[in-house]
């Protein structure tokens, strides 16, 4: 099957050029100013449009069991909604309950993800520690294409990783050539503030940001970065939402440390006044962690993207319906944390980034696709328009527009934090590995089309040791 994209302007993270692009089977096979359509090829007229790598969302939670319920989006509905918005790959999270096998959980999540409409991969969370976790991390890297491990510094009593776990796991990541990632919030502080606020009678959604002030994120980001610095590990900080956390990243990067930062469109656009909405459903619908932040943090985050100190945008797509949110009707600490956005990320970032002149089109490609591919080691298979790359492509209509609404979006969730926003700049076509799955308003997603993306490790200390000494794998350091 061939698809010729004709007459468009190709935009990558490094160049902009007028060119045609031919896809055959699953790959890009030719890029040249004037290509003939092979017989039987589908031709997309891209004149007046931009042809870009499909979006990569490096942070989603499809059907995540969390806070006493399960996120409503499954791997099919979530990836299909992504295709409607120009996103062609996701990296989701395997989150084992403490005490359970990383490997078994990985296989459970792989089973759930088989229905994906677009390609997917997994970060695996380290929520506890013993020798089996150490061993499983090795197996996941060597045999299962995992090169990143997640650490939740928040959610005390559930998946929170203590400093001891961070140290053990970061060290193991270095041995394996994997990258540790962190949700940076001090879980002990959050827990303490939650108890205090509830005891004071503050039980509504307005308590959520009060229990997780910016200092809580700044402390954890600093701590994770310093632990990584001490051990010599790279580190990726997910959903950076505050000026202070960004400053910690910027400082470390200036000192030559390999630190990466991700941010979300919601944190770039909204401030914490959303939690004061007298309509409980509206306020609770915005409950996610870290929360939306006081004014000025948004400006700081845009500067983080402009300066390159933040490299990626994600959605943290973790969708709960209004009904699910009511679990915390009398106590904000029980409102399932999470918001959606996989379908909106590209358009919102285009309009608010490129449309306002804050970022260039090439920077747009970098922060929605190529940088994630580079950091998580799948470039140039993904995040790239080059001969031999997967034909994951979005044809972008800069003049097209859509008004975002929960009534019309493709996601299963009945709430949208971008409700009513009209965005200019939308996909006209989305191709996943050479097949068109979104075409001028029509979603043609196919359950099960998505492939698992193997992500090889980076240069590995373990490999180096083996080369030098022919040594066996290092043993975990014994705990007292």
Q: Where does this chain bind ligand URP (CB under 6 A)?
A: 61, 183, 288-289, 316, 318, 337-338
How far apart are CB 337 and ligand URP at their closest, in Å?
3
175 binds, among Zn ion, ligand URP, none (CB under 5 to 8 A by kind): none
| CA distances from residue 97 to 67, 111, 316, 325, 446 in whole angstroms, order as listed | 12, 17, 19, 22, 31
Q: Does 208 bind Zn ion (CB under 5 A)?
A: no
**DSSP run (H or E) holding 24:** strand 20-24
Closest contact distance (angstroms) between CB of 293 and ligand URP is 14
Least gap, CB of 213 to ligand URP (angstroms): 16
Reduced to 3 states (helix: H, G, I; strand: E, B; else coil), residue 18 is strand
Tell whether residue 123 is a contact of Zn ion (CB under 5 A). no
Question: Does residue 363 interact with Zn ion by CB under 5 A?
Answer: no
Our CB check for Zn ion shows the closer of 376 and 449 to be 376
Distance between CA atoms of 121 and 382, rounded to whole angstroms? 12
> Which single residue brings its beta carbon nearest to Zn ion?
183
Per rule CB under 5 A, is residue 92 in the interface with Zn ion?
no
- Nearer of residues 132 and 282 to ligand URP, judged by Cβ: 282
- CA distances in angstroms from 371 to 58, 147, 164, 292, 349, listed in the order given: 10, 15, 30, 24, 15
The item of Zn ion, ligand URP, none sharing an interface with residue 148, based on CB under 5 to 8 Å by kind, is none
Residue in the block written with tokens 């096998």 = 101
Q: Is residue 150 at the binding interface for Zn ion, with CB under 5 A as the rule?
A: no
Residue 368 interacts with, from Zn ion, ligand URP, none (CB under 5-8 Å by kind): none
- Give CA 160 to chain center in angstroms: 19
288 binds, among ligand URP, Zn ion, none (CB under 5 to 8 A by kind): ligand URP
Residue 92 or 352 with smaller CB distance to ligand URP:
92
**Site membership for Zn ion, residue 262 (CB under 5 A):** no
Question: Which member of 119, 217, 219, 316 binds Zn ion (CB under 5 A)?
Answer: 316
The 3-state DSSP class for residue 180 equals strand
Residue placing its CB nearer to ligand URP in the complex, 59 or 243: 59
Picked from Zn ion, ligand URP, none, the partner binding residue 433 (CB below 5 to 8 A depending on kind) is none
Report, in Å, the least distance between residue 343 CB and ligand URP. Answer: 17
Which residue's CB is nearer to ligand URP, number 193 or number 359?
A: 193
- Furthest C-alpha separation in the chain: 72
**To the nearest 10°, the Cα dihedral for 345, 348, 349, 355?**
160
CB 180 within 8 A of CB 149: yes
Among ligand URP, Zn ion, none, what binds residue 82 when CB lies within 5 to 8 Å by partner kind? Answer: none
In the complex, least distance from residue 159 CB atom to ligand URP, rounded to whole angstroms: 9
First-residue to last-residue Cα distance in the chain: 60
The residue among 102 and 237 lying less far from ligand URP, judged by its C-beta, is 237
183 binds Zn ion (CB under 5 A): yes
What count of other Cβ atoms lies within 10 Å of the Cβ of residue 444? 14
- Based on CB atoms, which residue is closest to Zn ion, 175 or 316? 316
Other CB atoms closer than 10 Å to residue 58's CB: what's the count? 27
Q: How far is the CB of 241 from Zn ion (least distance, A)?
A: 10
Closest separation between CB of residue 58 and ligand URP, Å? Answer: 12
Distance CA 93, CA 112 (A): 12
**What's the DSSP call for residue 418?**
T
Q: Which is nearer to ligand URP, 288 or 342 (CB)?
A: 288
Q: Are strands 435-439 and 442-443 parallel, antiparallel or unpaired?
A: antiparallel
Closest by CA position to 40, among listed 84, 4, 76 = 4
Q: Should residue 374 be labelled a site residue for Zn ion when binding is judged by CB under 5 A?
A: no
C-beta separation of 309 from 253 below 8 A = yes
Note if the bond before 230 is cis, omega within 30 degrees. Answer: no
243-282 burial: b if 16+ Cβ within 10 Å, else e: bbbbbbbbebbeeebebbbbbbbbbbbbbbebbeeeebeb
**Is residue 420 left, alpha or beta, with left meaning phi > 0 and alpha meaning psi from -120 to 50?**
left
In this complex, which beta carbon is closest to ligand URP, that of residue 61 or of residue 382?
61
Rounded least distance, CB 407 to Zn ion, Å: 26
63 binds, among ligand URP, Zn ion, none (CB under 5 to 8 A by kind): none
Contacts to Zn ion by CB under 5 A:
183, 316
């Amino acid at each position: 099957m061939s698809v010729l994209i004709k007459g468009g302007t190709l935009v990558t993270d490094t160049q902009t050029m007028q060119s045609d692009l031919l896809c055959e089977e699953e790959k890009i096979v030719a890029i040249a100013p004037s290509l003939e359509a092979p017989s039987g090829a589908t031709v997309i007229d891209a004149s007046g449009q931009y042809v870009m790598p499909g979006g990569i969302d490096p942070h989603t939670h499809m059907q995540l069991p969390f806070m006493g319920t399960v996120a409503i989006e499954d791997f099919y509905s979530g990836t299909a909604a992504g295709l409607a918005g120009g996103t062609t790959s996701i990296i989701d999270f395997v989150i084992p309950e403490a005490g359970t096998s990383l490997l078994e959980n990985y296989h459970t999540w792989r089973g759930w993800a088989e229905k994906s409409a677009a390609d997917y991969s997994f970060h695996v969370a380290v929520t506890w520690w013993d020798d089996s976790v150490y061993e499983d991390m090795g197996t996941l890297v060597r045999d299962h294409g995992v090169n990143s491990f997640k650490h939740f510094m928040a959610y005390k009593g559930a998946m929170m990783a203590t400093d001891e776990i961070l140290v053990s796991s970061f060290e193991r990541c270095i041995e394996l050539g994997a990258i540790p990632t962190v949700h940076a919030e001090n879980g002990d502080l959050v827990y303490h503030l939650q108890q205090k606020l509830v005891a004071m009678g503050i039980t509504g959604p307005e308590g959520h940001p009060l229990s997780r002030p910016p200092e809580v994120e700044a402390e954890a980001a600093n701590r994770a970065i310093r632990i990584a610095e001490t051990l010599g590990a790279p580190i990726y900080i997910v959903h950076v939402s505050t000026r202070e956390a960004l400053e910690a990243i910027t400082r470390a990067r200036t000192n030559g440390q390999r630190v990466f930062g991700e941010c979300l469109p919601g944190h770039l656009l909204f401030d914490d006044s959303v939690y004061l909405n007298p309509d409980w459903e509206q306020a609770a619908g915005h409950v996610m962690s870290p929360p939306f932040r006081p004014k000025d943090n948004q400006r700081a985050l845009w500067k983080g993207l402009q300066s390159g100190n933040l490299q990626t945008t994600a959605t943290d797509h973790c969708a709960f319906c209004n009904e699910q949110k009511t679990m915390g009707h009398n106590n904000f600490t029980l409102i399932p944390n999470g918001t959606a956005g996989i379908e909106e990320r590209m358009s919102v970032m285009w309009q608010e980034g490129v449309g306002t002149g804050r970022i260039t089109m090439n920077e747009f490609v970098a922060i929605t696709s190529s940088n994630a591919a580079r950091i998580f080691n799948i470039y140039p298979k993904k995040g790239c328009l080059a001969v031999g790359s997967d034909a994951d492509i979005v044809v972008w209509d800069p003049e097209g527009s859509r008004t975002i609404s929960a009534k019309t979006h493709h996601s299963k969730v009945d709430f949208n934090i971008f409700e009513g926003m009209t965005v200019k700049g939308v996909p006209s076509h989305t191709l996943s590995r050479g097949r068109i799955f979104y075409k001028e308003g029509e979603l043609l997603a196919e359950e099960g089309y998505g492939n698992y993306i193997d992500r090889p490790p980076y240069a590995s200390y373990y490999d180096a040791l083996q080369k030098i000494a022919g040594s066996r794998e290092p043993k975990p350091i014994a705990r007292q």
